Structure 1
């Protein structure tokens, strides 16, 4: 038994993700630098907006694909539909996760081919002749007859560049903001499907589809108009930082309305209600036993929920005290269920059907409110994304852009992308009411959560992380304001000096 589930195939998935990450990571820092170097200064925000819009279209299509895959059973093609006795809303359902990987891997391979044909350098936008090497501006354009840099020459520039970036206060503060904001966003998006499942009773397939449809298209629109706004009004760095700060703060305040989109906890005997129907949350297994099922000798580790005709879910037909059944497959009905009959909410001969009881009608209404709220928040936040990103780009010198954007991407992945799902998941797991059991008796996946505590953790942790991020944001505004005043004073002094020089011959 111990050797049966001990497959090492997970290593292939891990190695595949590592290779995929190695391939996709250089595209953003180097691609953004490539675009910034050859575009006009007033056009680059718009181009970057288009680029970020495209990076949202991909996940949107991915969510639709994931929704389709999650709706198919994991053993697609090897197990007949009539042999599956659980539905997609069941906590034990596993979708065909592997199907999406195969499809996306094939598309990735085709999408990578055009990158081979990009030239080393382009004509600067607005110019008609081939650009010359302009070291004075800090931009080094590689010519075909130029010798390639050795690894040693590249490595020896690493520490000086790193020191310069480390001493750049705007850049370092922006990395702090990114880590905090991305930690909140990554944690939320990772567990949003599970949140919709547990809070509103949706299947994984429906949850993924709703997230993609409601959130991603509106983010595309926000990115596009954010970049267009920057291009049209030629916003400077300080103005961009102001726009990003106040628009993001507005979205943060709207976000708190999510605490009112609540749905009543699903009644499960022994977990969220007593067998008499009294509301109570229990994290211990002994509450699953009651007088109505004490003579059944039921296993407490099993999760095979049934819905009684009293509207209460029972962890298994045995714990519902059922003595008989009729029908086969998904249409099986359990009869003479003593616990259902004893609850006082049904007829004397209580019955139950497979699966958990459906939530109240109130849940569907609250789900729509939650999705509309997430749509509004996504749009407002995406409007602030492009001005905020331009603060990062404009805080770097031309020769620092590739390296600076690369370090920024690395920091966001290492300090936010990797750890945030881990601690989000660990905290969410503390709210588990019923754990599944593996073949050999070990602890499996969580089958049911305390949705009230889940909601406070899921919504509260991002609120704390994002709240802290406004401290470095305010510091950036102060630094840029001071810098703008200094530059304005220098320009004024220069103008006065020139005026004095012009008047000297007259004297």
Structure 2
């Protein structure tokens, strides 16, 4: 039993206990809470005097708020949710809009996405190593500040580029003209260039990449220091539950980004600009010329990150021990006393570069850690590639708008991803899965995910574009050669590179009114917008006459109307089936998240946890996530049938028409390959771990 004293001076209480450190700690470890309460008569104010002075000075009466691990978890969850919303949500949803606005190819979009992982690689090892030895919450606060600056930089090209110009279809060069040849690159492109900033798209690529690199640098502490800080302060038994909460919130972030970003794309891009000749006019989000306000989300979240960084600065370097306030005081005093001089020297020595290399060598010579990391590389490639371009895949495969496809992906991701992570954490905690047990659990669900990927073959039929995927009447069927000119439009002097689709009464889509042979246009204004109807489209009329088709025209104008604005939509309900299976794939993939993280932390030494997570994330990014956006972007470009042209700088711009069939086949092939490799790497890791020294009771 500990000796009791009269109430000492508040600031000298720790000094009076210095000679009893060992006895106090043994008593706190072995006694019950009732025994501690009856034998320790220390003043209740002691915990207040033990708090870091800087915290009390900065936050006054709110300092207790920052001394709870639950509070840190809440703030960290807000940070990781916003991070996911921006990096995996907004960026993914707005990719197709950025490509059309700044005339990027999908490969160039992949280069922009690559900036995030490049910055992470540069920052991961030093941040995880030195941050692990330093004040973790403050390192995380700096990360939030950098994220905020990155979001503001990412939104800045919208201010640098001129107002968005779209074809109003009132330009005479859009119609069939029986006259001498005209400059069909013509009025529209020159008008557009006069309003655009005289800046090549390569400059915008650099700006977007810089902003995304700041995102990568700011995100670095989230999945290394934050996870390690939580693990250090909740213990082995409770950490799976905390991890599941943290990572489920991380999953909610991208889903919210998809939904909110999709909704923002229904707002016209040039909101707030006063140039009436270039305003929204009669465009609707379903119009292929529509571009949404992609930049709003980045401005709002940039401000939110900066506010969060202020809150994160308020947390102490270490939380009070779960054994009580007294042990927390002794824990701090222990680090400052001469009794721990040997340990202090060892802590100082660990900053030496030689010690870093020794720790890296130890981790890399651990086969279980290596193969778990290799599996993470495969899964990282899927996250960095397929998940990034998932909205664009849905947009092309199911003929949906960018706004609606982004919202569907978000709706499918929110319940399935979050539920998977939470259930995975609960299972690890409930059944006390060891590292090997966690890997066996992962193997089962990876196998299920592999089977479910076959659902990616589901799609709607491609829109038939005359001269590209469907021949004119006087052309032969071909799968490789594009021929936009025919006898029905040869007298029109049309441009072969102008994309302004119209839907003919024959059920086919023509690349422009001119290529459909349309001679004039009329408008019908209704509540939901303006219908643009085209008259005497000779190519459409020839096919209707050839097929002896008598149609009931859904218009109130003359019978000469044979085409309308936009593409011919195919009736298709396959999207429902696809979303259901996509949700299942997300669920069975993310249910493995917590088990794999648990196995990683339990297969390395205690002192190497932070470094192990940092090294693992670095390898995953180098091998998996960095090349993935470029690979998937190149695959998407291979599925392109027709490219837009950037007349301002005389270069190929963004893709206007994709083939969903080829895109589905390409994506399925690479996803099955990556999932299969991930499965076998986890299998090998389980075999190696079974023979490892870490396969002990402490890791169970």
C-alpha distance after superposition, 1:15-71 (max 9, x if no partner): 332223222211220111111122221111111011101111222222222112222
* Distance (Å, rounded) in 2 between the aligned partners of 1:486 and 1:267: 59
* Distance (Å, rounded) in 1 between the aligned partners of 2:476 and 2:334: 71
- 1:455 Cα deviation after fit: 0.8
Q: Structure 2 vs 1, CA of residues 459 and 277 (structure 1 numbering), >3 Å: closer, same or farther?
A: farther
SS at match of 1:321: coil
Whether 1:59 and 2:254 are equivalent positions in the alignment is yes
Q: Structure 2 vs 1, CA of residues 486 and 263 (structure 1 numbering), >3 Å: closer, same or farther?
A: closer
* Distance (Å, rounded) in 2 between the aligned partners of 1:32 and 1:422: 29
* Distance (Å, rounded) in 2 between the aligned partners of 1:388 and 1:249: 15
Q: Structure 2 vs 1, CA of residues 52 and 320 (structure 1 numbering), >3 Å: closer, same or farther?
A: same
Whether 1:206 and 2:411 are equivalent positions in the alignment is no
Whether 1:93 and 2:272 are equivalent positions in the alignment is no
Q: Describe how 1:59-458 pairs up with structure 2 within 5 A.
A: 59-78=254-273, 83-84=280-281, 86-126=283-323, 129-130=326-327, 143=335, 153-259=351-457, 261-276=458-473, 282-285=479-482, 287-327=483-523, 330-344=530-544, 346=549, 349=560, 351-360=562-571, 363=572, 365-440=573-648, 441-458=650-667
* Distance (Å, rounded) in 2 between the aligned partners of 1:485 and 1:110: 42
C-alpha distance after superposition, 1:215-243 (max 9, x if no partner): 12221111112111111221111111100
C-alpha distance after superposition, 1:258-302 (max 9, x if no partner): 32x2211211101111124999564544x1111111111110000
* Distance (Å, rounded) in 2 between the aligned partners of 1:487 and 1:389: 17
Corresponding residue of 1:137:
none
- 1:10 Cα deviation after fit: 4.7
* Distance (Å, rounded) in 1 between the aligned partners of 2:336 and 2:257: 39
Contact 1:303-1:316 within 8 A present in 2 as well: yes
Contact 2:368-2:686 within 8 A present in 1 as well: no
Q: Structure 2 vs 1, CA of residues 162 and 98 (structure 1 numbering), >3 Å: closer, same or farther?
A: same
Uncovered stretches (5+) of structure 2, i.e. residues with no partner: 1-192, 551-558
Uncovered stretches (5+) of structure 1, i.e. residues with no partner: 135-139, 489-507
* Distance (Å, rounded) in 1 between the aligned partners of 2:333 and 2:281: 61
Contact 1:293-1:320 within 8 A present in 2 as well: yes
TM-score, normalisation: structure 2: 0.64
Contact 1:35-1:44 within 8 A present in 2 as well: yes
SS at match of 2:265: helix
TM-score, normalisation: structure 1: 0.87
Contact 2:259-2:407 within 8 A present in 1 as well: yes
* Distance (Å, rounded) in 1 between the aligned partners of 2:264 and 2:594: 33
- 1:356 Cα deviation after fit: 0.7
* Distance (Å, rounded) in 1 between the aligned partners of 2:582 and 2:476: 30
Highest CA radius of gyration, 1 or 2? 2
RMSD: 3.0
* Distance (Å, rounded) in 1 between the aligned partners of 2:523 and 2:349: 71
